[in-house]
Amino acid sequence: MTPHQQAVPTPDHDGPGEDAAKDALAGNVRRLRLSRGMSLRDLAEATGSSKALLSQIERGVANPTIGVLTRVADALDVTLHELVRSPLLTPQLVPGGWSDLDGLDDVAVRTLFTSFERRRLEISEAAMPAAQPSSKSSHGRGSVEYAYVLEGAVTVASHGWSVDLARGDGLRFSAEFEHVYTGGPDGARVLTVVAFTDD
């Protein structure tokens, strides 16, 4: 080894990022396969991969090649990105009350949510009367919605969960299922951002 070369350590196990990616892949492949009524045998035939490899992928113990992942994505009629994306299974709440304007002498900024995905966005502001629900809406497979309460209070409900939000609260949730906003006792003004998938 020359003085400019360094030994590269070889990890004897996956790091946390690899574990998370394998878990996301495993859950997505199984969920998508079952939702399409496919057995492992059906998926193996559609992809040209062995049942054993597909089973290992669904258990999060395989390191499949890009070629295998592409064939699996094609067989399940999703993009490769959708196949490896970490699903947003529960809403993520960012509580308000972080900065009072009284006595503030400089600009205060906080990041509510971060996403490194390239998506088409739709930004809306809604004014809601007291106790009035919005119409139910969903925004397609893989879509994510962000809500931020500008004034008042609102309840957001979707797919087996409900979250009460007050002024300054932020919420991120999967928008592929029907959801509804209901204005609080004094109504609400809410900023929403919907991030759509590429397809």
Strands 179-196 and 170-174: unpaired
pLDDT of residue 68: 95
The CATH fold assigned to 92-196 is: Jelly Rolls (2.60.120)
Residues of the chain with pLDDT below 70 are: 1-17, 87-89, 97-111, 114-118, 198-199
CA angle 113, 117, 122 (to 5 degrees): 70
pLDDT per position as a tens digit, 157-194? 998 899 999 999 999 999 999 999 999 999 898 999 99
Would you kindly state where each structural domain of the chain is located, as residue ranges?
16-84, 92-196
pLDDT of residue 91: 82
Q: Is the pTM of this model over 0.95?
A: no
Identical fold, 16-84 and 92-196: no
pLDDT of residue 55: 94
| Nearest residue to 36 (alpha-carbon basis) of 76, 7, 2, 70 | 76
d(CA 165, CA 14): 38
Tell me the CATH number for domain 16-84: 1.10.260.40
For residue 174, with 0-12 CB atoms within 10 Å meaning exposed, 13-18 middle and 19 or more buried, which class applies?
buried
